[in-house]
Structure 1
Amino acid sequence: MYSPRFLFRLAGLLLLGQALLAGVALAQQLPAPRDTSFTVHSAFRYIQKTYPEARIARPAMPATIRAQTNVTYCTLGVRNLQLDIFYPKAKTKKGYPAVLFIHGGGWRSGDRSQHVPMAQQLAAKGYVTVTAEYRLSTEALYPAAVHDLKAAIRWLRANAKQYPIDTTKIAVWGFSAGGQLAALVGTTNGDKQFEGDACNTSHSSSVQAIVDVDGVLAFIHPESREGDDSKSLSAGTQWFGASTATKPELWQQASSLNHVTAHTPPILFINSSVDWMHAGREDMLKKLDTFRIYHEVHTLPNTPHTFPLFTPWFATTLDYTTAFLSKVFKR
């Protein structure tokens, strides 16, 4: 027989073990500490000397739109993934096309607020726009970010009546790492290995248009510099959790160039003059031509990689985006 004191201590140890396990699980689900290495202000400081005319784009929110912020679109354990949504005040029976904005920052930094100005201005032109957070590499490795963004698209369809959204016209727009993700999300329509298994899974995550703003199309490519770990671990290596040498199949899988088919939606490329930031673009254009998929390419001369965040290039980016979406959605 065990003494009451022994049993009491044993019960205490079991409770302590359960608490520790719960703490580990909680830590795995909560957001990791933010990596603030990439912000609009740090990007602005970086380009100031070379582009003294540049200014941070801060247009006022148009009076013709509504906004809802910090909306949870998917819950993973105790982790709430959130988005901000902007939509016209004017009512419509058919619904408005929707656009999901994806921020950059090397899959590790940045945040959704960086494209709120662009999302607001596009909403004023007759779109429902969303800026969504996704799990960065400090919190979860590839393909978690892809799963999150596809869940955000499913959320748009699940909430189409409330905002309202034309579910046949959904586009994805991304800058830098967000551009890579936008192209990957769009070229993997219907591919179950990229879906994930959480949140509104009865709805489709397919998109009908892609806007890639200076995002890489192919990681293992002669034009790409991503994956160079000679001086320090690259952003890509930190995202995949493996180098190009140890797990090249992951890098290839995440390259949208490898997913182009006859079913790929129309795509718009808006690029800076920093060529390696859109590695694989020319090869993708050849594939798109083969399948007769509509595409546009606009390269802004003498521009920094971060051009869409600043004037005078913010307005140009917005204009190209609006014209492309109007054409493919026949508005």
Structure 2
Amino acid sequence: MLLPAVGWSRAIALCLPLLVAGCATHLSTTDAPAIAQSGPGPDVGFQRLPPRPYTPPGWPEPLEARVLLPDTPADALRPAALLVHGGGWQRRTPDDMEAIAERLARRGYVTINVAYRFAPEYRFPAQLDDLEQAMDWIHEQSEAWRIDTARIAGVGYSSGAHLISLLALSGEQAGEQSRLAAVLAGGLPSDLMKFDDGRLVVEFIGGTRAEKPQAYRQASPINHVNADAPPHFLFHGRWDTLVPVDHATDFHAALKAQGVTSELYLQHYRGHFTSFLLRDSAIEAGIAFLDRQLHDE
């Protein structure tokens, strides 16, 4: 049955606020979500540097970072954000994170938006090695870019969120320079053992769950949660069938059980891709969370 034109117009008008602003359930381990306790700060301008390699000579593949430097007072150290794109560990580019990087730069963050090596040519933990190298490089540039190395956040979506969270939770083993102060992660695959031996995960690990159970456990962020984990802001679509929502709810519960500050922003009527495409309200809530974690004295 077809609706008349006026019917379609009315339906679109009714649905548009839902699609654009979205409905969400915002859960917090504190008294109230950070977005409710801190308004947006004033935006600043930023400088875009030319892409530059962050890997040393002899690295298996040369990798580049895109850097944005905010226009903040010349004598002030500022927080930074390491951004990692998604794509199933084997496709896409830092272009996907550019708008988020710009939003963070306007809020005073030095942003470092990086490429990493892809599966199946390079398998886990190659991608984690790349991010550890990126963190070393950020520390090397910290004086020139006035980065407070105690206030570096990780930001990612999907497989990028997986790598960022894994970096944050395995930082103790990797060394002090790999430690992140907070994480903003969307569509996070937190437990790789939950996947039914799908191609992307098998090619990332290099085998099935039965063949490489230890690697699957090692590559699952939820298995590394402990009381020293950095604060996490998680956003996830309730209709996500690629990375089901229990990846987020279980991970939030694991952080909460360890006394780690965590917020979970569940996007209603969103799948895996629409959660990223229609992410603005989640990102604003996530940046408010980062602001509270990294700017409060």
Q: TM-score, normalised by structure 2?
A: 0.80
Kept in 2: contact 1:82–1:133 (CA 8 A): yes
Match 1:103 to one of 80, 85, 97: 85
Give 1:243-262 correspondences, 5 Å limit: 243-262=208-227
1:22 is aligned to none
What displacement does 1:63 show?
Answer: 7.6
Q: Deviations over 1:126-173 (max 9, x none)?
A: 111111000011431110000101111121111111112111101111
Comparing 69-78 with 144-153, greater Cα deviation is found at 69-78
Residue number in structure 2 paired with 1:73 = 54
Q: Greater helix percent: which structure? A: 2
SS at match of 1:237: helix
Determine the structure 2 residue equivalent to 1:220.
Answer: 193
Answering whether residue 235 of structure 2 is matched by residue 270 of structure 1, we say yes
Distance 2:84 2:52 in 1: 16
Cα drift, residue 80 of structure 1: 1.9
**What is aligned with 1:150?**
132
Q: Tell me, in whole angstroms, the C-alpha distance in 2 between the residues paired with 1:260 and 1:163.
A: 31
Structure-1 separation of matches of 2:84 and 2:246: 19
| Counterpart in the other structure of 2:69 | 87
- The alignment partner of 1:152 has SS state of helix
What secondary structure, in the 3-state scheme, does the structure 1 residue paired with 2:179 have?
A: coil
Secondary structure of 2:288's match? helix
Matched pairs, number = 256
Higher relative contact order (CA 8 A, sep 6+): 2
Cα deviation, 1:58-115, whole Å, max 9, x if unaligned, reads xxxx981001132111135263211101121233433111111111110011111111
* 1:264-289 residue CA offsets vs partner (Å, 9 max, x unmatched): 00001111123451443333333322
1:183 aligns with 2:165: yes
Kept after mapping to 1: 8 A contact 2:162/2:189:
yes
Counterparts of 2:285 and 2:275, CA distance in 1: 11
Query: Structure 1 residue 326: deviation in Å?
Result: 1.1
Task: Name structure 2 gaps, 5 residues minimum.
Answer: 1-14, 21-42
The residue type paired with residue 183 of structure 2 is I
Whether 2:269 is the aligned partner of 1:302: answer yes
Does structure 2 retain, via aligned residues, the 8 Å contact 1:107–1:235? yes
Conservation of the 8 A alpha-carbon contact between 1:70 and 1:83? yes
Q: Distance in 1 between matches of 2:285 and 2:192?
A: 26
Report % sequence identity.
Answer: 24
RMSD: 2.3
Which aligned pairs between 1:159-238 and structure 2 lie closer than 5 A? 159-192=141-174, 204-221=177-194, 225-228=195-198, 234-238=199-203
Q: In the TM superposition, what are the counterparts of 1:101-140 in structure 2 within 5 Å?
A: 101-140=83-122
